[in-house]
Amino acid sequence: MKNTLRIFFLLVLVFVSQQMLGQNLNISGIVTDNQNIALPGVNVIEKGTSNGVSTDFDGKYSINVSNPSAVLVFSSIGFVTHEIRAGQSSTINVSMEEDAAKLDDVVVIGYGTQKKKDLTGSIASADLEQFEDSPNTNILQSLQGSLPGVTIGQTATAGSDPTILIRGKSTLGGNTGVLIVLDGAVYRGSFSDLNPSDIASVDVLKDPSSKAIYGAQASNGIIMVTSKKGKKNQKTEVNFATYYSTQSPIQNRRTLNRAEFIESSRLNQYTVGFLAPDYTTPNPDYDYLGDSGVAATLELQNSINSGTDFNWFEAGQNGSPYIVDHQLSVRGGSEKTTYFLSAGYTDQLGWIIGDNFNRKSIRINIDTQVNDWLKVGINTFGSFSDRSGQSPNLQTFVLMSPLYTPTDANGDFILNPSASSLTNPFLDVQSDDLNKQFNVGNQAYLSIDIPGIKGLNYRLNYNNNYRTFKGFNSNIYANNSLGAASKTNSSTFDTAMDHILSYDTYLDNDNFHGLKTDIIYGWNKIENETTTARASTFTNQSLGYNNLGVGLIPVISSGGYKESFLSTTARIIYNYDSKYLFTASIRRDGHSAFAEGNKIGYFPAVSAGWVLSREAFLAEYSKIDLLKLRASYGLNGNTSPRYSAQNTYASNPSNQYVFGDNPNTVNSFVLNRLISPGLTWEKTEGYNFGLDFGFFSNRITGSADYYLSTTRDLLFDRTLSATSGVNSIRVNIGELQNTGFEFNVNFNPVRTEDWNWDIGVNFSTNDNKILSLTGDDIDEDGVEDDLIQNNYFIGKSIGTVFTYVEDGIYQLGDDIPSGFEPGSYRFKDLDENGMINEEDRTFIGQREADYQLGISNNLTYKNFSLKFFISSIQGGISENDPWVGAGGFYGLTTYVGNNRFSDIDYWSPSNPNAEFNRANSSAGGVDYTPFKDRSFVRLQDISLGYTLDKDLVQKAGLTKVRFYLSGKNLATWTNWKGWDPETVSGLGIAPKIPGSQNDAFLALPVMKSYNLGLEIAF
Amino acid sequence: MKKSNYIKFLVAFLSLSALISCNEEEFLEEIPVDLYTAENVYSDPSGIEAVLANFYVRERYIYYVGASDVSYSLLYATDAFFSARGGTGTNEKIANLTSAITPTTYISQFFYEENFKIVAAANLLIQNVIESDLEPDKKELVIAEAKFFRGKAYRDMVYLYGGVPLITEFSAEPVYDRVRATRAEILNQMEIDFRDAADGMPSINKVNDGRVSNIVASFYLGETLMSLGRPADAVTEISKVVNDPNVSLMTGRFGSRSSTGGKDVFWDLFQRNNQNRGSGNREALWVAQIENDVPGGLLSSTGSSGRNLFERNCNPAVWSITDPDGKPGFIGRQSNDNVGGNGVGFLQPLPYTTNTVNDTGGGLWPANYAGDLRCSNANLIKDAIYDNPASAYFGKKVSEFRGKNMGTGIGTPNQVASSGDWRFYKWFVKSTTPGDHPIGLFDPNNPLLLSNNAGGTYHDMYYLRLPEAYLLRAEAYLAVGNTSLAAADINVVRSRAGAIDVAPGDVNIDYILDERTREINLDEQRAITLRRVGKYGERVIKYNWQAGPTYLPRHDLIPIPQSEIEANTGAVLEQNPGYN
């Protein structure tokens, strides 16, 4: 009976609406912003229908509606959506209010978009405007410090990608890279190939349910990058922007000059350089040459005696590093077609010589509505970057002492100027080096509104990305000056297709119960090939790498791989009046790298949101604009590198042999990987609880999130018994947990016609903890064993520091145990057994930070804008040993002969309270590195901008002219010593910090810069 | 929508659906396109040959390539050599046995891991070859060669570590519960493997240069039988080596530099290209193949990739000596007997190794170095002469005017060594090739001098040479109590060197060990030999002033690596006594 009634009413409704269709009421008007400027491109839609238009260049619109009770919805990105009942009036002018909180913003989620206010997950959207005046050659630099839960590292070389960590590290040996989705397609190229000026938005999917839509590759977080597009009915806008940035290291470090160097050598060998017993009175008989043993050759002796004072370190630097950037874009759109075209040019000169970056990029984005059911579009880009030039070995040019020069009297380079095995660092620079990367790609789509069923849409995404690398090098000094040259050519072709069938509808006629369902089927295939040809020993080197055939000793190698992914996904999004929100999804993923039978994984997720502020009981509180609770659950996967589960044989140059005295090389094969039959996905199961709020007309907005995620079946290279024939096998072990709290709030305390002031604060923490490892208890103490050799401890973070406890430095006259000496570190004998051994190690801290904090400020007064951003990471310790890389044993010279930085506070009898030990002092066989606090506060960005008066520029036929002056990394407050706390590059000169949580960090300075920019539009 | 639009739509939709369908299993199948897998390695004779060739790569790696010069740790801390620069902070250049040889140092790890890689590869090869469709006689050859290398790997391990896990079948699944076999069980398996290898491998005139042959297997079989306490059986096997008509001791000048004056046959044995049978050398039994600037040849003129750095390690840093005024005494790294190339003086012979019987403290050479080619001026360099014309000491002997940076040479051995004695000491010419460095090693700006990349030893290295077979049979005769036959074998070796015969009554194990130092020092892995005959502690204490005082009985064996014990989670892998 109930059903019959329902059908009856439905029929009546249909009948009535059919009747009403006959009526035709025309409404027109002008849409402006609150400064009375016409707004083109505003969507005007009759609510609940597909009937809609958008405003023209003058903000005018005209729409026919069915009846006076129709509701018109005016919406445009960046403005609060406005709803007005049509009534009997034929003219409706609307003034749109800018949406300070941007709650109506659309956020890019997996395979689609969603209004920010309807989100149930935790998605951070980058405020790209805040950083548009900064000299960022990489879009990630605009995210640095500004998004809670997202840690972006510093870069120290030109054109490099910073590291990204989202909500802590969740793997031991699996993939650690975030998944990048560019305009809807997985992008495996480098961020440095994307022109930051082409990017409209960057959204970071952080919570497990948002990520789960990318299933198997989701666990490290997902960065959704969307490129700029044209707008419908927009007149063509041409935009030209340029800036020049001059850079210098944030730390002014230098090496010792001649006098300091000789004095330092005396200090180092204080037993001969000074007089006993207190060794503070210089020994008048000290003879630097004779006592240090540095000058074994005649050339060296002559150089030293002639008073040479050469600054190697300075000679290895570019005097004035810079960035020059030009951008030109054209965007616009007609009723049916929109377009965005751009060309960009970036040229960067790094700090160390040979560190160059040049990028030329183009982009063409076009979308067109072919007919009423078909829409097609394509985003294409090309990025052509050039990093040609070889940098000298940084370590060596620090170590070279001021007493000799890189060239002889004739100006020829000396191969081993120190007469030790250290090669002249400037030989590398003499290379003819070419390093070019081309990256071209497209994301094409076709979208079909399936006829007959409103809201049913089929979309096909087809993505191609082709990346090539050319690395050519020839050096006449290499191979003992007989010359060496090489050419590497490599290319990667990445292709993917997604079929998306979606149905977007309301379950009822009052449009309360919104339902969107998606079914997605996709595949992704990556093919790579690499060829390297080398040759050495050239009779005549004038042809360089262009004719490797004339090199007498050729070596050729090549490689390649194929990798494939397959996925099927289903998702439903339910929305009751934007009050109750619910999303559920499941993805079935396949990846070729896992064992037979384990290639497929299932990744489900659910999430819900409750918008309290739309409930009647809160409606009376007008000060509350938004109050929303969110909760989500999801399962995310992480993949393993290729061939992890295969048994493969190594066959490479180190496995070649020659039988007999005739050069007749044979290849040999050796097993290097065992089959890992059970290898499967690493799975992260996570929960996220969040709160979004907006008060006082959205003058205070923000959100808070708490998350807990547990990763199981961690991918790990388990050390095998040597009897297996291979060193390790990749297996799934253990359990790891990440918990954290994130908070961000935006204030808009001043919002007048002339003044606007926005303040944003973000804060986040992450705690990482290993819950379980192998599950073994070999020592039978009833507690699962740690993996000490890997520095993994149950109950501690991945980056926990387990080492000795420093207890000052041994002084002259101390009772010094055997193996130690004055100037070496003293350690606490924790087990009090009278000797320092491995039992005296303990937990002294962790590498992970306690929290990170970002504060942004954006103040505008009339045509002026002042922005600044302060970034801080607090807590966490890292290795900082001034002697790391300072030279172990180089031929006949030791620390005495190697140069060092001038800012090291090291022990000598005249400096007994030094922070660091005496170089090369014996530490009784204790393997110890000092750890230091890496907390810092940094004024990361500051800019002052001025926009010329509109009236003025319009006379010149322009629409916008803007100047700005900005600074980056102008001030850093920290107790860390050395290059930079953020890159954890300390006083030492090691090219890589062993055991560091961060990937390879060159011991290079971070740059500060002053920039001048100009933007013109017409 | 118009009707024609419906049709267009339908066509579009259908053609798109066609794109969706694909075979999932096929799509996700992983095929390494640039790597070999079991499927394509064993299905082809060339693949099997390539697996065999890898044994030679690994064997060479263990003795001549090991990172951090770990290979030479079998020479340091013996009765013949010590660490001239006190170890300089590295464990591999053993100065102090107690700190250098522990369950966590690389030395214990290296020889265990590398030899077990050979065992695993041999087991895997044998298993796959049996299953392959190779012709039966070829199968037999492959299996014999694989068994030889398995036996050889266990041979190195049993003398260094004692009993280790005995594994004769490859396990595709990781095994976490290995336990140690006894020394006797390992030796028994070695006997089987070497016997099968000796029966199945071709004779030495039938194999390519560098390949092992039946008599190489017979040699190690004999050595194994000695360790099993069956010296009479050992004599039988070693006699097969000595009596093989295809081998004999070289007695006259031969090879690439036979016309160089003032040299002798012993010197010829260590010149470039003179080690393989192709050069006319008939006493080489098994030679590690080393070439310069040839892929797979180990050495390169750039000095960056290869190893075999005997010159660098064994030769003193003569080129760095300042004269007594503190001025450079030498013009640089010359490729001659006076300077010895680019030595840096790490592995110094002990006084006993280079001194004569009439020197203070004694030595193993005859008085005044007379009557033995092996200590002639061609083969053992005893002094250096200042060669820098700008020096006031030009033409004078370093032994008479020590350089300012060499110390006084007076004091305890430790004081002498640490004050710079490593810049000159007596050295064996076989560690380098004076006057015959490859052209790429010379400094292009100064063709008189070697570049800094020099330091390799640019000739092939002997794993086994016929004299060692005579000396091993002498050991066996001694063990059965026949000193006259023992003396006869030793005298074959001595008479070739022009040395006077030893009387049967003077033959004992220490004499044989001394004779080995005279004949095959730097060729043999001395630390293995001493442990094999059970004389390690005794002779290190007696002759090595540096490592001797740090010797403890536990050092008769090196420890099972701690990483191995920890990786073996399913059972307890016993540590050698004294290391816990």
Q: pLDDT tens across A304-351, in order? A: 778 889 999 999 898 899 999 999 999 998 889 999 999 999 999 999
CA nearest to A732, candidates A688, A682, A770: A682
Task: Quickly tell me which residue has 């300012």 as its tokens.
Answer: B404
Please compute the mean of the pLDDT values over residues A820-826 and round it to a whole number.
89
Q: Which residues of B touch A661 (CB under 8 A)?
A: 209, 273, 276, 278-279, 291, 460
Token representation of residue A143: 């995210």
Of the pLDDT bands very low, low, confident and very high (cuts 50, 70, 90), residue A115 is confident
Residue of B nearest to A890 (CA): B344
Measured distance CA(A890)–CA(A418) in Å, rounded: 10
Interface mutation target, options A300, A412, A723, chain B, most CBs of B under 10 Å: A723
Sheet holding A123-125, edge to edge: A123-125, A199-205, A222-227, A179-182, A185-187
* Interface residue B172 vs chain A (CB under 8 A): yes
Least confident of A560-569, A852-861, A986-995, B321-330: A986-995
CB contact (8 A) between residue A372 and residue B390: no
CB contact (8 A) between residue B561 and residue A660: no
Helix ranges (H only) for A400-493 are: 426-429, 478-481
Residue ranges of B 388-407 with Cβ closer than 8 A to chain A: 388, 390, 404-405
**Are B318 and B384 a contacting pair, CB within 8 Å?**
yes
Measured distance CA(A415)–CA(A400) in Å, rounded: 13
Token representation of residue A440: 């071209």
Closest Cβ–Cβ partner in A479, A645, A666 for B302: A479
- The DSSP secondary-structure symbol of B61 reads I
**Are B465 and B283 a contacting pair, CB within 8 Å?**
yes
CA nearest to A733, candidates A174, A179, A167: A174
- Give the type of residue at B468: E
CB contact (8 A) between residue B9 and residue A416: no
Query: Which residues have a Cβ under 8 Å from the Cβ of A93 and sit 6 or more positions away?
Result: A29, A30, A31, A32
Closest Cβ–Cβ partner in B279, B326, B567 for A721: B567
Beta-bridge partner residues of A344? A327, A361
| The pairing of beta strand A877-879 with beta strand A864-874 | unpaired
* pLDDT over threshold 80, residue A424: yes
DSSP reduced 3-state for A564? strand
* Interface residue B497 vs chain A (CB under 8 A): no
The pLDDT mean for chain B works out to 91
Residue of A nearest to B423 (CA): A892
CB contact (8 A) between residue A481 and residue B445: yes
* pLDDT over threshold 60, residue A104: no
Residue of A nearest to B307 (CA): A654
DSSP reduced 3-state for B69? helix
pLDDT, tens digit (0-9, with 9 covering 90-100), for A698-743: 899 999 999 999 999 998 888 888 888 888 888 899 999 999 999 9
| The pairing of beta strand A94-96 with beta strand A25-33 | parallel
Token representation of residue B105: 């140092």
CB contact (8 A) between residue A448 and residue B13: yes
Q: Look at residue A16 in the predicted model and tell me its pLDDT.
A: 39
A-B C-beta contacts closer than 8 Å: 280
Q: Which residues of A touch B278 (CB under 8 A)?
A: 660-661
CA atoms within 13 Å, Cβ hemisphere of A542: 1
Query: Which residues have a Cβ under 8 Å from the Cβ of A662 and sit 6 or more positions away?
Result: none
**Are B520 and B465 a contacting pair, CB within 8 Å?**
yes
Handedness of CA B184, B187, B191, B197 (dihedral sign): positive
Of the pLDDT bands very low, low, confident and very high (cuts 50, 70, 90), residue A649 is confident
Measured distance CA(B195)–CA(B144) in Å, rounded: 9
CA nearest to B305, candidates A553, A414, A542: A553
Q: Look at residue A707 in the predicted model and tell me its pLDDT.
A: 96
Q: Look at residue A876 in the predicted model and tell me its pLDDT.
A: 93
Measured distance CA(B415)–CA(B67) in Å, rounded: 29
Distances (CA, A) of A687 to A224, A629, A909: 21, 14, 58
Interface mutation target, options A657, A664, A732, A890, chain B, most CBs of B under 10 Å: A657
Of the pLDDT bands very low, low, confident and very high (cuts 50, 70, 90), residue A10 is very low
Residue ranges of B 246-305 with Cβ closer than 8 A to chain A: 273, 276, 278-279, 289, 291, 293-297, 301-303, 305
CB contact (8 A) between residue B326 and residue A649: no
Task: Quickly tell me which residue has 């070289």 as its tokens.
Answer: B250
Q: Look at residue A15 in the predicted model and tell me its pLDDT.
A: 40
pLDDT, tens digit (0-9, with 9 covering 90-100), for B421-479: 899 999 999 999 999 998 888 887 788 898 878 888 999 999 999 999 999 999 999 99
Q: Look at residue A429 in the predicted model and tell me its pLDDT.
A: 85
B83-B87-B88-B90 Cα dihedral, nearest 10 degrees: 140
**Are A384 and A360 a contacting pair, CB within 8 Å?**
yes
* Interface residue A617 vs chain B (CB under 8 A): no
Residue ranges of B 110-149 with Cβ closer than 8 A to chain A: 112-113, 116-117, 119-121, 124
| The pairing of beta strand A179-182 with beta strand A222-227 | parallel
Q: Which residues of B touch A641 (CB under 8 A)?
A: none
Residue ranges of B 561-580 with Cβ closer than 8 A to chain A: 561, 563-564, 566-569
Closest Cβ–Cβ partner in A667, A724, A889 for B120: A724
Residue ranges of A 773-792 with Cβ closer than 8 A to chain B: 774, 776, 778, 789
pLDDT, tens digit (0-9, with 9 covering 90-100), for B49-86: 999 999 999 999 999 998 878 999 999 999 999 999 87
Percent helix / strand / coil, chain A, rounded to 5: 10, 50, 40
**Are A274 and A921 a contacting pair, CB within 8 Å?**
no
CB contact (8 A) between residue B289 and residue A660: yes
CA nearest to B134, candidates B196, B38, B45, B41: B45
Residue of A nearest to B212 (CA): A659
pLDDT, tens digit (0-9, with 9 covering 90-100), for A661-697: 877 888 889 888 888 888 888 999 999 999 999 998 8
| Backbone dihedral region for residue A397 (phi beyond 0: left; psi -120 to 50: alpha; all else: beta) | alpha
Measured distance CA(B290)–CA(A670) in Å, rounded: 20
Q: If you write DSSP's letter for every residue of A608-656 in order, what string do you get?
A: EEEEGGGSHHHHT-TTEEEEEEEEEEEEEEE---TTTTS-EEE-SGGGE
Give the E-state strand segments of A38-155 in sequence order.
43-46, 52-54, 60-65, 71-75, 82-85, 94-96, 106-109, 112-115, 123-125, 150-152
pLDDT, tens digit (0-9, with 9 covering 90-100), for A449-496: 988 888 899 999 999 999 999 999 999 888 777 888 999 999 999 999
State the pTM of this model: 0.81
pLDDT, tens digit (0-9, with 9 covering 90-100), for A592-636: 888 788 888 899 999 999 999 888 888 788 888 899 999 999 999
Task: Name the more confident of B245 and A655.
Answer: B245
DSSP reduced 3-state for B565? helix
Measured distance CA(B119)–CA(B125) in Å, rounded: 10
Distances (CA, A) of B184 to B159, B190, B196, B245: 11, 10, 18, 33
Residue of B nearest to A655 (CA): B57
Q: Look at residue A295 in the predicted model and tell me its pLDDT.
A: 52
CB contact (8 A) between residue A559 and residue B34: yes
* Interface residue B60 vs chain A (CB under 8 A): yes
Q: If you write DSSP's letter for every residue of A724-778 in order, what string do you get?
A: GSSSEEEEEEEEEEEEEEEEEEEEEEEE-SSEEEEEEEEEEEEEEEEEESS---T
Work out the angle at residue A698's Cα, subtended by the Cα atoms of residues A693 and A699, and round it to the nearest 5 degrees: 110
Q: Look at residue A18 in the predicted model and tell me its pLDDT.
A: 41
Interface mutation target, options B16, B35, B209, chain A, most CBs of A under 10 Å: B35
Q: Look at residue A969 in the predicted model and tell me its pLDDT.
A: 93
Please compute the mean of the pLDDT values over residues B545-553 and round it to a whole number.
93
Could you tell me how far CA B247 lies from the centroid of its own chain?
Answer: 22
CA nearest to A464, candidates A189, A676, A248: A189
CB contact (8 A) between residue B34 and residue A562: no
Of the pLDDT bands very low, low, confident and very high (cuts 50, 70, 90), residue A289 is low
Q: If you write DSSP's letter for every residue of B535-554 in order, what string do you get?
A: -HHHHHHHH-TTTGGG--GG
Say what percent of chain A tops pLDDT 70.
93
- The DSSP secondary-structure symbol of A896 reads T
* pLDDT over threshold 90, residue A539: no
**Are A856 and A906 a contacting pair, CB within 8 Å?**
no
**Are A861 and A755 a contacting pair, CB within 8 Å?**
yes
CA atoms within 13 Å, Cβ hemisphere of B403: 34
Measured distance CA(B102)–CA(B109) in Å, rounded: 10
CB contact (8 A) between residue A450 and residue B294: no
Measured distance CA(A592)–CA(A599) in Å, rounded: 6
Measured distance CA(B444)–CA(A330) in Å, rounded: 58
Shortest alpha-carbon distance between residue A386 and chain B (Å): 28
Say what percent of chain B tops pLDDT 90.
69
Please compute the mean of the pLDDT values over residues A917-933 and round it to a whole number.
82
Of the pLDDT bands very low, low, confident and very high (cuts 50, 70, 90), residue A900 is confident
The pLDDT mean for chain A works out to 86
* pLDDT over threshold 60, residue B2: no
* Interface residue B96 vs chain A (CB under 8 A): no
Residue of B nearest to A461 (CA): B16
Backbone angles phi, psi at A252, to 5 degrees: -95, 90
pLDDT, tens digit (0-9, with 9 covering 90-100), for A240-253: 999 999 999 998 89
Q: Look at residue A571 in the predicted model and tell me its pLDDT.
A: 94
CB contact (8 A) between residue A561 and residue B32: yes
* Interface residue A802 vs chain B (CB under 8 A): no
Measured distance CA(B507)–CA(B325) in Å, rounded: 49
Residue ranges of A 109-138 with Cβ closer than 8 A to chain B: none
Residue of A nearest to B180 (CA): A723
CB contact (8 A) between residue B296 and residue A656: yes
Residue of A nearest to B333 (CA): A297
Shortest alpha-carbon distance between residue B456 and chain A (Å): 14
Distances (CA, A) of A191 to A382, A555, A818: 13, 33, 53
CA nearest to A843, candidates A788, A763, A920: A788
Residue ranges of B 505-544 with Cβ closer than 8 A to chain A: none
Query: Packing angle between helix B231-242 and helix B466-480, nearest 10 degrees?
Result: 150
